[in-house]
Chains A and B, each alone.
Chain A
Amino acid sequence: MVDQVIGAIIAIVLAVGISAFYFAGTNWALDRFLANTRRPDGTVIIRNNLRESIRPWLFIAPALLVLTIYLIYPVVETLRLSFFDADANTFVGFGNYIWMFRDPEFLQSVGNNLMWLIVVPAAACAFGLMVAVLADKVAWGTIAKTFIFLPMAISFVGASVIWKFVYDFRGPDSEQIGVLNALVMAFGGDPQAWITIPFWNNFFLMVILVWIQTPFAMVIFSAALRGLPSETLEAARIDGANEFQLFFKIMLPQIMSTVVVVWTTITIIVLKIFDIVLAMTNGQWDTEVLANLMFDWMFRGGGDFGRGSTIALVIMIAVIPIMIWNIRRFQAEEGMR
């Protein structure tokens, strides 16, 4: 234990030290070895342009190197591996893809992921907007937002434990210690083992992600709403618009672009959803999702890298439209600068 703490401290010191040494050192070397020099005949060789064309590359080289190793190369490699067998030795063509589309687990995962994709972003955005709007109307709004904000700091696994406790099930004859079943019994219903009821259990898992993502939506929407010009709202009020009309006809259209950004951000998180399913059911009772299936194949029976890569690629393909849209949006923003 002492070893690892010392190791961590050394790592921090080394990381900061090496970075500082690298940036300062290469910068110094550049100025030293490519300095302007004076020939014996008196002419000066000016290398300013050369130096300044090298310097940016020195500054971004470490970041580019790490990005290449950890993100760019793996994307290409995963694509390659998807055409190979479990050990990544034998080329199997589209074998993994053909397997995938016949695999009931994969098909189930795609179906479940689609449900998650529809429900979670919609619910998180709806709740987030609701809180953002309502909190603006009451004196204790800031406190309310702080409380709702907190789950955002909780890990998916931590949240899974919290909600598994909410969903806890004991036989109908015993005292229920899960809030949900206690409520159901208080209203005269029968207690259920919620996370084992196929189809519906997916929604009980989604609740956890909605619970974590709503605060995110709330924060962004709150800021967006605060940025709205008050004239339009006042004008609508004077014209006799009620609060609902105000929201749907005046506020919502003006923050639509923010809603789209939040929606897509949550969509990406949903596509990769893994921890919650692993912790709650590990894909049992028809709750499998792509990321968990992929993780499973990474290690199942010693690991099948071909199938794992193919499933990862499906997630990637689903992300690509959002990626392109993001880059376009970024370029448009840059163009406006």
Chain B
Amino acid sequence: MAMVMGRSGRVGRLATHLTLVFLVLLWTVPTFGLFVSSFRDKDQLIVSGWWESLTTTEQTAFGRTGDTDDQVQRGGQWVIEGDFLDPDSDARILTFSDNQRDLTAYQAGQTLIHDDGSRFTLYADGRYEWISDQPFDLRRGDRIFYVVEVPPIFALANYREVLASEGIGQSFINTLTVTVPATIIPIMMAAFAAYTFAWMQFPGRQVLFAIVVGLLVVPLQMSLIPLLRMYNEIGAALGVDAKSYLGIWLAHTGFGLPLAIYLLRNYIGSLPREIIESAKVDGASHFDIFRKLVAPLSVPALASFAIFQFLWVWNDLLVALVFLGKRDDQIVLTSRLRELLGSRGDNWEILTSSAFITIIVPLLVFLALQRYFVRGLLGGSVKG
């Protein structure tokens, strides 16, 4: 092959690499930007792009000086002292002014002389000194505007905020509460049905399974209104809340069953006939064959389905919006994130960190169990 590849071959190789690099960037950079931003200081986040997050940012801000109560007498002069910046921070003040429209009037360390003769000095580290020959008479401190150079700040502050005060922590628990049972409940039901379809003879088997294949693609939208009405009626009849975890577990079970039965039947049906037949000859009942032979052999397929269902339920928004309330103890991560997009649309420090908490679990599950996931995908790629 190397012989055939001349100059054009080498150019082609380079083009291949570059195109692939470009595609990889397109598929990773957006998520990476969100990830980086979620750790940035919220004031830096809005003044510079995340790709500049390692460089120092210039921000404008203002500080208010102390007032009459803060003055001390020192050597015949009256002095107000203070610090505009956090003493621990590495931020440096560049310029300052008492006029918002002329931020660069004075360099840090220079002295601004007021009309009354008082002298105001702001140092780069944020300390200021306001000296006057007469006692100050200020009910409120003076506003000083400054340009400050802030080194990059990365912290977990955004995460702390969303977990505690934006309710993401609670929603995380809610999502787990929905997802785990909704993943486990359908499995046994589907496994028995799949075994029955694969290895037992009964009239109508083909037709019933064709219906399952058809149900794979029935849009969820067809189920929502009748089920919502049914849940409301049951809720009213029993005097309980129509929006409940039990309701959504069962709904997800119903919506996940066609894929579960389909995937598992394909897998169980492909087990070697001899194993099943010889067990039958030995006098094993179908129940025993399922329990002792088929179920253990089907673990990979069960795992694929479990991952599918887990990801699907964790990431679902529509079913949760319809079958769960928006109360704090029911609202799931996806719904909460959607609400935040509406109410906190400009607070990127909140959105980025919330989004990251929402996607991290599926990402980890996905990375860890890729093999099973891909196998499942290849086994039943017609889920609707």
- A residues neighboring B (CB under 8 Å): 1, 4-5, 7-8, 11-12, 15-16, 19-20, 23-24, 27, 31, 53, 55-57, 59-60, 62-64, 66-67, 69-75, 77-78, 81, 88, 127, 130-131, 134-135, 137-138, 141, 144, 146-158, 160-166, 168, 175-179, 182, 211, 214-216, 219-220, 223, 237, 243, 261-262, 264-265, 268-269, 271-272, 274-275, 278-279, 291, 294-295, 298, 305, 308-309, 311-313, 315-316, 319, 322-323, 326-327, 330-331, 334
Task: Report the Cα distance A62→B20, complex, angstroms.
Answer: 48
Chain A residues within 8 Å of B318, by CB? 274-275, 291, 295
> Cβ of A312 and Cβ of B202 under 8 Å apart?
no
User: Which residues on the A side are within 8 Å of B329 (C-beta)?
Assistant: 1, 4
**Nearest chain A residue, comparing its CB with the CB of B227:** A74
Closest 3 pairs (CB-CB, A-B)? A70-B254, A155-B315, A63-B193
A295, B322: Cα distance in complex, Å:
9
Q: Assess the B24–A179 pair: CB atoms within 8 A.
A: no
Q: Contact between B337 and A158 (Cβ–Cβ < 8 Å)?
A: yes
Q: Which residues of chain B come closer than 8 Å to A56, judged between CB atoms?
A: 196, 200-202, 205
> In the assembled complex, how far is the CB of residue B249 from the closest CB belonging to chain A, in whole angstroms?
6
Check A69 against B216 for contact (C-beta < 8 Å).
no
With A1-B329, A237-B4 already in contact, the answer to whether A265 and B222 are too (CB < 8 A) is no
Interface assignment of B377: CB less than 8 Å from any CB of chain A: yes
Residues of B within 8 Å of A, CB-based: how many? 117
A72 neighbours in B (Cβ, 8 Å):
211, 215
B residues less than 8 Å from A164 (CB atoms): 341, 351
Taking A214-B27, A274-B318, A312-B222 as contacts, is the C-beta distance between A60 and B362 under 8 angstroms? Answer: no
The answer to whether A1 and B355 touch across the interface, beta carbons within 8 angstroms, is no
Contacts A4-B329, A134-B19: A165 and B51 contacting too (C-beta < 8 A)?
no
Chain B contacts with A in 364-383, Cβ cutoff 8 A: 365-367, 370, 374, 377-378, 381-383
B219, A315: Cβ atoms under 8 Å? yes
**B224 at interface, CB cutoff 8 A:** yes
Indicate if the CB atoms of A319 and B362 lie closer than 8 Å.
Answer: no
For the complex, give the distance between the alpha carbons of A66 and B29 in Å: 42
> Which of A53, A78, A298, A330 is B202 in contact with, Cβ under 8 Å?
A53
Q: Does B145 contact A (CB under 8 A)?
A: no
B:236-276 near A, CB below 8 Å: 245-246, 249-251, 253-255, 257-258, 261
**Quick one: which of B210, B257, B287, B314 contacts A331, CB cutoff 8 A?**
B210
Tell me if B188 is interfacial: C-beta within 8 Å of chain A: yes
Q: Which of A12, A156, A315 contacts B315 (CB 8 A)?
A: A156
Return A57 CB to nearest CB of chain B, in Å: 7
Number of A-B contacts (CB under 8 A): 342
Q: Identify which of B30-38, B101-109, B131-139, B150-158 touches chain A.
A: B30-38
Query: Are B34 and A312 within 8 A (Cβ)?
Result: no
Q: What is the chain A residue whose CB lies nearest that of B169?
A: A1
Contact between B20 and A1 (Cβ–Cβ < 8 Å)? no
Check B358 against A74 for contact (C-beta < 8 Å).
Answer: no
Q: Is there a chain A Cβ closer than 8 Å to B180's Cβ?
A: yes
Check A81–B27 contact: CB distance below 8 A: no
Given A1-B329, A71-B254, A138-B16, answer yes or no on A262-B381 (Cβ-Cβ < 8 Å): yes
Docked Cα-Cα span, A158 to B360, in Å, equals 10
User: Once the chains are docked, how many angstroms separate the CA of A47 from the CA of B326?
Assistant: 55
Contacts of A211 in B (CB 8 A): 26-27, 30
Contact of B355 with A179 in the complex, beta carbons under 8 Å: no
Q: Across the interface, which residues of A come within 8 angstroms of B261, CB to CB?
A: 63
For B367, list chain A residues within 8 Å (CB): 150
- Residue among B190, B246, B329, B341 with max Cβ neighbours from chain A (10 Å): B341
Which of A23, A163, A176, A215 has the most chain B CB atoms inside 10 A of its CB? A23
Contacts A15-B249, A67-B254 aside, 20 further interface pairs with beta carbons under 8 A come to A8-B176, A20-B188, A23-B188, A75-B222, A134-B20, A138-B17, A138-B20, A144-B23, A157-B338, A161-B355, A179-B49, A211-B30, A243-B12, A262-B381, A275-B338, A291-B219, A298-B224, A319-B217, A330-B213, A331-B206
Interface residues of B in 298-334 (CB under 8 A from A): 311, 314-318, 321-322, 329, 334
| Stretch from B40-48, B64-72, B88-96 contacting the other chain | B40-48
Known: A11-B246, A24-B287, A323-B217. A154 touches B192 (CB 8 A): no
CB within 8 A of B219: which of A8, A168, A272? Answer: A272
CA–CA, A66 and B212, complex, Å: 12
Residue of A nearest to B184 (CB): A12
Q: What is the CA–CA distance of A75 and B209 in the complex, to the nearest angstrom?
A: 18
Residues of B participating in the A interface, judged by any CB pair closer than 8 Å: 1, 4, 12-13, 16-17, 19-20, 23-24, 26-31, 33-34, 37, 45-51, 170, 173-174, 176-177, 180-181, 184-186, 188-190, 192-193, 195-197, 200-202, 205-206, 208, 210-229, 245-246, 249-251, 253-255, 257-258, 261, 285-287, 311, 314-318, 321-322, 329, 334, 337-338, 341, 348, 351-352, 354-355, 358-359, 362-363, 365-367, 370, 374, 377-378, 381-384
A166–B287 touching, CB < 8 Å: no
A177 adjacent to B19 (CB under 8 Å): no
User: In the complex, which of the residues A60, A149, A309 has the most CB atoms of chain B within 10 Å of its own CB atom?
Assistant: A60
| Contact partners of B176 in chain A: CB under 8 A | 5, 8
A73 to B370, CA, bound (A): 36
Q: Taking CB as reference atom, which chain A residue is nearest B173?
A: A1
Identify 26 residue pairs between A and B in the complex whose beta-carbon atoms are under 8 Å apart, listed by A's number: A8-B176, A8-B181, A12-B180, A53-B202, A56-B202, A60-B196, A63-B190, A66-B257, A72-B215, A74-B223, A75-B223, A78-B222, A138-B17, A144-B24, A147-B27, A150-B367, A155-B314, A156-B317, A177-B48, A215-B27, A216-B377, A261-B381, A268-B217, A312-B219, A312-B221, A316-B221
Complex interface: chain B residues within 8 A of A57 (CB): 202
Contact across chains for B351 and A319 when beta carbons are under 8 A apart: no
Contact of A147 among B17, B28, B49 (CB under 8 A): B28
How many whole Å from B232's CB to the nearest CB in chain A? 10
Report A119 CB to chain B, min CB distance, Å: 16
Expressed in whole angstroms, the minimum distance between the Cβ of A325 and any Cβ of chain B is: 10
A165 touches B37 (CB 8 A): yes
Q: Are B16 and A67 within 8 A (Cβ)?
A: no
A113 to chain B, nearest CB (A): 12
Residues of B within 8 A of A178 (CB): 49
Measured between beta carbons, the chain A residues less than 8 angstroms from B26 are 211
A219 to B101, CA, bound (A): 57
Residue in contact with A11 in the complex, picked from B24, B47, B245, CB distance below 8 Å:
B245
- Write the chain A residue with the least CB distance to B355: A161
CB–CB A8/B29 < 8 A? no
Q: Given the complex of chains A and B, what is the CA–CA distance between A179 and B314 in angstroms? A: 28
